[in-house]
Amino acid sequence: MPKRFLIAGACLAAAACGSEPGVYDLPRQEVYDRLASNPLDALKFRRACGILIHLLPSARNGDEIDWRVTHNGHTKVQFSIRLEELSPEQTRVSVSVDSKDADGSEAYDGDYFTPYPAFQQPLRPAIEEAIAATLEGREFDPSRAPHSRDDDVCDVQRATLQQNGVPIDVVMQRRGDGSSDSLSEDGWGSGTTD
């Protein structure tokens, strides 16, 4: 068999098997540079729940990057990634949702309840897909991070923003059902995360 066919076959086999999730054929520094100041807009525009959020990245130690997700200056949720150099040309990216529910489970894990959610659930696969899309130089692919079909509160909030161009908290404020401040206290908590 010609050598080029063997090489092509090997490549196809490798592609079919796929690489380990979260492992990228990029140097650690390259991964760091692409993500360290990246606001991950795909999450904001594809997975937010109809409130205006901002993802604020902050890098530390050269191998960890945190994102604080805020709404009206209040922190809604925090997540981070850790980079591990597997070889000079290969890096593992581990995602961690740092905000926790009252019982210690991960926020937005699919069963997380908050009156005014920021993201469709589960959040972690969406973060992983946003990072993968960034590192692979492609568009965010929703099918790689399916979200719950029973996330009604999020769906309603999201539809309000998408159909009217006005976020849900502003709509509620106009209706006199609440204000951004009161929602922040009641729904998003007075601490650093919801």
List of residues contacting another protein (CB under 8 A): 45-46, 52, 120, 142-143, 147, 149, 155, 158-159, 161-167, 170, 173-174
Q: Sign of the CA dihedral 138, 139, 143, 148?
A: positive
Beta carbon nearer to another protein, 98 or 155? 155
Minimum gap (Å) between residue 164 Cβ and another protein: 7
Beta carbon nearer to another protein, 169 or 194? 169
Minimum gap (Å) between residue 147 Cβ and another protein: 6
Minimum gap (Å) between residue 83 Cβ and another protein: 29
Beta carbon nearer to another protein, 3 or 174? 174
Beta carbon nearer to another protein, 89 or 150? 150
Minimum gap (Å) between residue 145 Cβ and another protein: 10
Minimum gap (Å) between residue 116 Cβ and another protein: 16
For every residue of the chain, DSSP letters joined together read --HHHHHHHHHHHHHHH-PPTTEESS-HHHHHHHHTT---HHHHHHHB-SS--EEEEEEETTTEEEEEEEETTEEEEEEEEEEEEEETTEEEEEEEE--B-TTSPBTTSSS---SS-SB-S--HHHHHHHHHHHHHTS---GGGS---TT-HHHHHHHHHHHHHSS-HHHHHHHHTS--HHHHHHHTS-SSS--
Beta carbon nearer to another protein, 26 or 123? 123
For helices 152-164 and 168-175, angle between their N-to-C axes, nearest 10 degrees: 80
